[in-house]
Amino acid sequence: METIQLDLRNVKGQRRAVEAQIQQAADLILAGELVGIPTETVYGLGANGLDAKAVAKIFEAKGRPQDNPLILHVAGAQWLPKYCKDIPLEAYSLARKFWPGPLTLVLKRADVVPDITTAGLDTVGVRCPDHGVTLSIIREAGVPVAAPSANLSGRPSCTSAQDVREDMDGKIAAIVDGGPCTVGVESTIVDLTCTPPKLLRTGGVSVEALEQVLGTITVDAGAVAPLADGVAPKAPGMKYRHYAPKAPVTVVTGAGEESANVIQKQLQPGDGVICFHEFAPRFKGYVVQDLGAMNDKQVQAQRVFEALRAFDDTDVKRIFAQCPDNRGLGLAIGNRLKKAAGFQVITPKEKPVILGLTGGTGSGKTSALKAISALGGEVLDCDAMYHEMLQSDKAMVADLKAMFPNAFDERGVLNRKQLGSEVFSNPVRLDQLNEIVFNHMGKEVKRRLATSEHVLLAIDAINLLESGIAKQCHATIAVTSPAELRVKRITMRDGIDELYAHLRINAQKPDGYYRAKCDYELENDVASSEEFQEKATTFFKHIIGKLQEENQHG
């Protein structure tokens, strides 16, 4: 069969010619033929969705498994009652907000829709595509157009008429060229036959945007992750190997800089790379597909299938791909890349966020640190660390012995009282002690940070600022509290009287000192420790979010 080309890229000012070609495409569809049609997501392989024989040709041309249902493309929400039953109100709210556009609604099917179109399911996927040419063809034909993506089964989807010809030349009656697809990834699929609605496939409409209309939605396991053996996805198509170039793909997640580093280490001559625009110069000498700027997910979505397809014209042996984060369109782009990789994914260790906490006694550091633990963080308590190091850190003990020989008994055991009295009223000796302790403590903190598996760490140190350990933190936080509250807490906690509590507080640096020197202040001005822990949690979440963002981009 000769596949004719209808060029409708430029539809301005040529009404007659355009109308004739749209008519021709609609006639072919009504005659039971297959036509490659442009949409804003990807090109579709269209047939009359009510004509079982025509629909059968789709499965044959694509090599598509028979159990994988097709989406019906309609001209607007007013067509829904013809092909669907029991339509919930949400369907119309979603259509009003997102149609024409990249959203497919799964609804109960009406009897006119043949079994082959829905692969025997009692539901049907429906969407109104946002492409003037295809909308005109659907209106002209007056039937819903069943259309899967126009690629051969298993290959990346087609985002240009040229891609369609590559896969379908000679197999279908016509290809309508409507220019490159503006969205570039397929429609989001949401099942409205269950409560709450369920996301079956990520796509051109983000989860965040859907939730604005629907409230919370559930996400089908098959939509975002590889399925465990024996688990059936709700969208049958999600179980098949998909989008895959001939060469094996490995996706590397994480911030741009990190994933680029990981890829650089993996690369061997003959490999290919899909990377963000900013990193392309790093991969000179390899076959590179530029996915678009790191922060431009719209372009990344437009480019992702083309990038995957392009490698099939080369002889690269392996492909490594950077991956956007999961927000907005990033979820769908990452999903397509991961599916192309058969979920072969490298996840670089996340850069941890390191907070330094300091402040005087009774201000509530302990409650603040409980909030850190509750957020899954690890707390490094420098006071406890110091006591451990006196037992185990031979280098520190040797330095102390050399500087304070009188503080050690004949067996070489430290007498802490003796050491205390030597430095208590002698600032020079105190400085000498601090210099030794801070030096070894700094090294120990560094070692513990490097070996921690946690992505959130808090260092608790009264001498955080003086010891230089603050330099190892992404942010320093002063925990402060009004004096009268501190007195109350100390008297309760340590069973001492108010006068003594005042003396203890006055012997320490004032809140103002910590406030001036730290990046943030967390003020404990509430009555109970539970209340403060809650306040601290909100405060830390905010700072952690900010720092994670900074870690990502620098």
Residues of this chain that interact with ligand TXA (CB under 6 A) are: 39, 41-42, 44, 68-71, 102, 104, 106, 118, 121, 123-125, 129, 147-149, 186-187, 189, 200-201, 234-238
Q: Which two tokens mark 271?
A: 């490999």
Cis peptide bond upstream of 196, omega within 30: yes
Residue 147 interacting entry, from Mg ion, ligand TXA, none, C-beta within 5 to 8 Å by type: ligand TXA
484 CB-near residues (< 8 Å, 6+ apart)? none
* Binder of residue 125, out of ligand TXA, Mg ion, none (CB less than 5 to 8 A by kind): ligand TXA
Of the two residues 201 and 370, which places its CB atom closer to ligand TXA in the complex? 201
**Residue 69 interacts with which of Mg ion, ligand TXA, none, CB < 5 to 8 Å by class:** ligand TXA
CB 50 within 8 A of CB 143: yes
Question: Which partner, ligand TXA, Mg ion, none, binds residue 128 by CB below 5 to 8 Å per kind?
Answer: none
Our finding on whether 117 is near Mg ion (CB under 5 A) is: no
**Site membership for Mg ion, residue 149 (CB under 5 A):** yes
Of the candidates 176, 167, 150, the one whose C-alpha atom is nearest the C-alpha of residue 71 is: 150
Nearer to ligand TXA, 241 or 541 (CB): 241
> Cα dihedral sign for 472, 473, 474, 477?
negative
Strands 287-290 and 319-322: unpaired
Residue (167 or 378) nearer to ligand TXA, CB:
167
Pairing of strands 145-146, 71-73: antiparallel
CA distance 47 to 73: 10
The answer to whether 270 and 183 are in contact (CB under 8 A) is: no
Is 300 a binding residue for Mg ion by CB under 5 A? The answer is: no
Q: Which C-beta is closer to Mg ion: that of 140 or that of 186?
A: 186
- 151 Cβ neighbours under 8 A, 6+ residues apart: 42, 62, 157, 158, 163, 167
- Minimum CB separation of residue 276 from Mg ion in Å reads 25
Identify what 339 binds: ligand TXA, Mg ion, none; CB under 5 to 8 Å per kind.
none
Q: Tell me: does residue 202 bind Mg ion (CB under 5 A).
A: no
User: Cβ 187 to ligand TXA, closest distance in Å?
Assistant: 3
108, 85 in Cβ contact below 8 A? yes
**For ligand TXA, the closer CB: 200 or 400:** 200
Residue number of the CB closest to ligand TXA reads: 237
Stretch that binds Mg ion, among 52-60, 142-150, 201-209, 453-461 (CB under 5 A): 142-150
Contact between 187 and Mg ion by CB under 5 A: the answer reads no
Per partner kind, with CB cut-offs from 5 to 8 A, the member of ligand TXA, Mg ion, none near residue 44 is ligand TXA
What backbone torsions phi and psi does residue 360 show, to the nearest 5 degrees? Answer: -75, 175
Residue 60 gets the label, from left (phi > 0), alpha (psi -120 to 50) or beta, of alpha
CA distances from 372 to 131, 145, 355, 367, 518 (A): 50, 55, 10, 9, 18
Q: Which is nearer to ligand TXA, 238 or 445 (CB)?
A: 238
Pairing outcome for strands 475-480 and 520-523? parallel
Q: How far is the CB of 272 from ligand TXA (least distance, A)?
A: 25
| Closer residue to Mg ion in complex, CB, 88/226 | 226
Indicate the residue among 104 and 467 with the shorter CB distance to ligand TXA. Answer: 104
Q: Name the minimum Å distance from CB 62 to Mg ion.
A: 8
Give the residues lining the site for Mg ion (CB under 5 A): 149
